Amino acid sequence: MKVYFHANNKATLEALQSCGVKNVFLSYKYSHNISTFSNCFDSIFVSTGTNTDREKYYDFLKREKEHYDYATQFYINDDMSKTNHIWNKEIGCGLNTLPVLEQDYLKHLSLLNGKASHICIGKMKGRFDTEDAIKRLPTNFKYHGMGKGKYMLKNCFDSIDTSLWISAAMAKKFEIWSNGTIIKIDFNKEGKLAEPILKHYCEQYKDNMEKVGINWHGVEVRHYYTLLKLPIALYYMPICEHLKSYSDNFIK
């Protein structure tokens, strides 16, 4: 499985590059410098994002097509009919965008009439309905889970994108991979009580910490750039090793 890490500013892009990340996910809003860093990553996935001017997005896709690998169609949240209509117009105009399933995945999939083999899974109301619909998707397509970072272990998608890696620096919350168990850390609740746990796993994943260029002192003082990289070292690298997809996502 490929993991596309969200990047929305210079700091996140630099952090991902220094961590040896191969794949990044960019909202159109943050893609204005795409040509300057397209050579820094193996694969770039572009999405329309929110409050985007459709025609400007299309102009961007045409102008920068050599600088990205995949791009989502322009989609309407929770409206599969309009979203499908838009995708058909994009294909008719020669845009090689990926359709985004909305509202009712299986019904929306039937509207595509077999015209796409690589498909993005968007939003659907209700967590349990979403999980059930994902389980019932036919297996003869290639799927990308949009914002489906929590599905990494469920073997549902060929690729996913996630912004959860930024949460340690921004929301002071993140997860640690521990031999099949996910340990949740919330600095806002545990504060200094988390120190022994953090120190233990920073020692356990010392090699990963060195790879991404951080140390225990930076964790201890909650240094912003250290916390940006911490989930990469303590969660994403170990879990990708577990899934045997490390080389798909990180430079060795």
Count of CB atoms situated within 10 Å of the CB of 244: 9
Q: Are residues 232 and 109 in the same domain?
A: no
Q: Are residues 150 and 97 in the same domain?
A: yes
Count of CB atoms situated within 10 Å of the CB of 6: 21
Question: For 132-146, what is the mean pLDDT?
Answer: 96
pLDDT 10s digits, 91-100: 999 999 999 9
Q: Are residues 127 and 211 in the same domain?
A: no
Burial of 29 (0-12, 13-18, 19+ CB in 10 A): middle
pLDDT band at 126 (very low <50, low <70, confident <90, very high): confident
pLDDT band at 33 (very low <50, low <70, confident <90, very high): confident
For position 36, what pLDDT does the model report? Answer: 85
Q: Are residues 15 and 118 in the same domain?
A: yes
For position 192, what pLDDT does the model report? Answer: 76
Q: Is the pLDDT at 51 greater than 90, yes or no?
A: no
Q: Are residues 30 and 108 in the same domain?
A: yes
Domain count, the chain: 2
The CATH number of the domain holding residue 89 is 3.20.20.60
Q: Are residues 70 and 104 in the same domain?
A: yes
Which of 118, 139, 162 is where one domain is finished? 162
For position 203, what pLDDT does the model report? Answer: 97
pLDDT 10s digits, 185-211: 998 888 777 899 999 999 999 999 999
Give the pTM: 0.95
Q: Are residues 96 and 179 in the same domain?
A: no
Question: For 176-180, what is the mean pLDDT?
Answer: 94
For position 125, what pLDDT does the model report? Answer: 86
Q: Are residues 75 and 191 in the same domain?
A: no
Q: Are residues 155 and 211 in the same domain?
A: no
The Cα 108–Cα 21 span in angstroms is 33
Please give the structure tokens belonging to residue 142: 């290639």
Which of 145, 162, 179 is where one domain is finished? 162
Q: Are residues 208 and 191 in the same domain?
A: yes
Give the domain extent around 227: 167-249
pLDDT band at 239 (very low <50, low <70, confident <90, very high): very high
Q: Is the pLDDT at 89 greater than 90, yes or no?
A: yes
User: Which helix or strand (DSSP H or E) is residue 204 part of?
Assistant: helix 195-204
Query: Strand pairing of 100-101 and 142-145?
Result: unpaired
Q: Are residues 142 and 195 in the same domain?
A: no
For position 235, what pLDDT does the model report? Answer: 98
Which of 110, 128, 162 is where one domain is finished? 162
Q: Are residues 87 and 9 in the same domain?
A: yes
The Cα 61–Cα 202 span in angstroms is 41
